[in-house]
Structure 1
Amino acid sequence: MKRIGILTSGGDCAGLNAAIRAVVHRAVGTYGWEVFGIRQATLGLMAQPPQAIALEIDKVDGLLVAGGTILGTTNKGDPFAFPMPDGTIRDRSEDIIAGYHQLGLDAMIGIGGDGSMAILRRLAQQGNLNLVAIPKTIDNDVGVTELSIGFDTAVSIATEALDRLHFTAASHSRVMILEVMGRDAGHIAISAGIAGGADVILVPEIPYTVERVCYTIKERQEQGKNYSLVVVSEAVRTETGVCVMSTDRLGQCRYGGIGQYLADEICTRIGAETRVTVLGHVQRGGTPSPLERVIASAFGVAAVDLIAEAQYDHMVTWQKRQVVSVPIPEAIAQYRAVNPHGTLVKTARGLGICLGDEH
């Protein structure tokens, strides 16, 4: 009987609990294994004793529709250069490896984005740990998978926001700007923009000019359309190439503010009354969409099957409507940005949506 661990790392999102549920059902129900959920990702393995809970089928049956992750997660603290309370930096990788062995694990499933996978794989290589990975990121930027856990729900939430903004924009004859997440990729913006009927979509992969955006808004006004909807990805830079970021009290820098920059520019140049909505972490929360639950469940089952087949150092992916496994190095070697010549961009242009360029 095998004993496997599972952890969720990086930012939270919808669908993580559905994947945990699937892992437990497959591992316990089919193979008769033990499953331990590791608390707070690698922080749980650092702790003494390691922070983990036994997961049985009856404990996970209500998780399919629950957002977030019951195991907790963290996106801070590189274990190879971990900040200590006294201000020093320490390599705590061996503490994590020791936690894995202290729990008596035969294998571990890590759910995370490309950054988390790179760290987990380095730990696995150093400590000879058996690792299988599941891709999770609302940004959908992991190279070899068409879908990652969290993306579909984030798009659904952004689309719903656009649906609601339509009516208030029309009522007040305003330009409504919706700033969405996506890190350095514009997948949420382009998908939600098409689904939500946006008039302008700005993504970091396609250069734009404010003049072109203003021209589109003025053109709509001349056609008797008294409002416009603009979707912008948080990583879009200013027209001069400046990255818009904010710094919190802890000195951490995050994307944020490109929506307000655009609003100020539009108001100054053409006098249009403009309002900004920043969705932020709303995109990470809530009930997972039906597709999210299906993808997460398929990934969870497939990850357990990889362990049964001793196919370690692999990540499950969604390709051409089926789950396929690839080596983790191959999975994280490529960054999946929006293809400026891809189907979604062609679709947006075909619908008459302005992408900010002169195309």
Structure 2
Amino acid sequence: MTAKIGVLTGGGDCSGLNAAIRAVVRSGIAKGYQVIGIQNGWQGLIRSDTIPLTDHSVSGIISRGGTILGTSRTDPVKNSADISEIKRVLEDLGISALVVIGGDGTLRAAHEVSLLGIPLVGIPKTIDNDVFGTDITIGFDTAVFIVTEAIDRLHTTAESHHRIMVLEVMGRRSGRIALAAGIAGGADEILVPEVQVSMDEICRSLNARYRAGKKFSIVVVAEGIRHEDIASTSVPEGDRDECGHEKFVGIGNYLGKELECRLGIETRVTVLGHVQRGGSPTAYDRVLATRLGIAAVDQVFAGNFGCMVGVQGNRIAAAPLESVVQQSKGIDPAEYARAKLVAGIHV
């Protein structure tokens, strides 16, 4: 009987997921596996919602955004009955191992599931690029490309109207998108959750630009920053998603109003939102996802479970999920300081 492996995508979608699925399927078939697609993340395993994946079914999907398998934010370890159901479904389908493609939440669940005796290998994806154990995650490069393009477009209208343009980007706990795109797009202020900056500091910096004759500014802000004036704001349960994550109400709009009020300069706000998740992946993300998909199947074939494949110094390497989920990867303050050297006017 042909051995079977399952593949699922969990958490938020991003560009490059289909490229990873394609790589898992084609490399799996090459190693003699039958590949089963699990629809809508962990939820699909609980409900036995699966489809067979063949060479034909993944043809042409490398350039498509999103995930052909669908996704959800279901946490399988919240309910012991769900784990029992997952084990039953895997046994009924004859699936001997899983490839789990996800971000920190999905990989954390994968680690806990693996401790309960389910063989699996993780692949890191998240536009935030905050998963420990890999230099870069699937989806990050595409998100940065989209944000950089937005900054480039905002520059021309900001300069024409002598305005401050505030661009709010994704980043719940990590400001890596804001930092990378801010550097690439030549932003004048970059605000990230990892570094506390006061409104007075921001205003002094922007004022210095105007005194120096620069009559416009671009401010990039990650959605998860906690400004001093709203740091104690509580979030009602109704304003959280199924994983308990806060549904942000718009730090960009708050910041824009404050800047216009304090500086007396016309300010406009753009919130990119889910635009950053969608669309075709960049060439880099397609290649990265392909490399990681192949590597995940290699780990399954070798029987090396409970690990995540990632990029370390441009080489593909496996790291134990236990070490991955116990640490976080935020912005190094020194990295932020280097970005400040080339942004705006120094005061």
Question: Are residue 326 (structure 1) and residue 319 (structure 2) matched?
Answer: yes
Report the AA paired with residue 35 of structure 2: V
Q: CA RMSD in A?
A: 1.9
Deviation at 1:268, TM superposition (A): 1.3
Aligned to 2:75: 78
Instruction: Quote the Cα distance in structure 1 between the aligned partners of 2:113 and 2:345.
Output: 45
Is residue 175–residue 275 contact of structure 1 (8 Å, CA) maintained in 2? yes
> Can you give the 5+ residue segments of structure 2 that lack an aligned partner in the other structure?
none
Aligned with residue 216 of structure 1, among 183, 194, 205: 205
Deviation at 1:219, TM superposition (A): 1.6
* Structure 1 pair 33–294 and aligned structure 2 pair: CA distance change class (3 A): same
Normalising by structure 2, report the TM-score.
0.94
DSSP 3-state at the match of 1:152 = helix
Instruction: Quote the Cα distance in structure 2 between the aligned partners of 1:164 and 1:247.
Output: 36
Aligned to 2:107: 117
Aligned to 1:86: none
Deviation at 1:81, TM superposition (A): 3.2
Aligned to 1:165: 154
Aligned to 1:87: none
Q: Deviations over 1:42-93 (max 9, x none)?
A: 111111xx11111111211201100000000001x433335xxxxxxx7422
Aligned to 1:97: 87
Aligned with residue 64 of structure 2, among 60, 63, 66: 66
Q: Deviations over 1:268-291 (max 9, x none)?
A: 111111111111111110110111
Aligned with residue 292 of structure 1, among 285, 288, 292: 285
Q: Deviations over 1:115-171 (max 9, x none)?
A: 111212222322x21100001111111111110111111111111110110111112
Question: Are residue 341 (structure 1) and residue 334 (structure 2) matched?
Answer: yes
Aligned with residue 283 of structure 1, among 276, 287, 290: 276
- Paired residues for 1:2-17 under 5 Å: 2-17=3-18
Deviation at 1:295, TM superposition (A): 0.7
Is residue 5–residue 37 contact of structure 1 (8 Å, CA) maintained in 2? yes
- Greater than 2 Å deviation, 4+ residue runs: 77-82, 243-253, 352-355
- Paired residues for 1:123-202 under 5 Å: 123-126=113-116, 128-202=117-191
DSSP 3-state at the match of 2:57 = helix
Is residue 175–residue 229 contact of structure 1 (8 Å, CA) maintained in 2? yes
DSSP 3-state at the match of 2:115 = helix
DSSP 3-state at the match of 1:80 = coil
Deviation at 1:24, TM superposition (A): 1.0
Report the AA paired with residue 191 of structure 1: A
Aligned to 1:263: 256
* Structure 1 pair 354–79 and aligned structure 2 pair: CA distance change class (3 A): farther
* Structure 1 pair 244–152 and aligned structure 2 pair: CA distance change class (3 A): farther
Instruction: Quote the Cα distance in structure 1 between the aligned partners of 2:157 and 2:235.
Output: 28
Aligned to 1:303: 296
Aligned to 2:51: 53
Deviation at 1:250, TM superposition (A): 6.5
Q: Deviations over 1:174-227 (max 9, x none)?
A: 100001111101100100000011000011111111112112222222222211
Aligned to 2:342: 351
Q: Deviations over 1:256-276 (max 9, x none)?
A: 321111111111111111111
* Structure 1 pair 14–214 and aligned structure 2 pair: CA distance change class (3 A): same
Report the AA paired with residue 252 of structure 2: G
Report the AA paired with residue 309 of structure 1: A
* Structure 1 pair 235–250 and aligned structure 2 pair: CA distance change class (3 A): closer
DSSP 3-state at the match of 2:334 = coil
- Identity over aligned residues, as a percent? 44
DSSP 3-state at the match of 1:122 = helix
* Structure 1 pair 81–321 and aligned structure 2 pair: CA distance change class (3 A): closer
* Structure 1 pair 66–336 and aligned structure 2 pair: CA distance change class (3 A): same
Instruction: Quote the Cα distance in structure 2 between the aligned partners of 1:294 and 1:347.
Output: 29
DSSP 3-state at the match of 2:95 = coil
DSSP 3-state at the match of 1:255 = coil
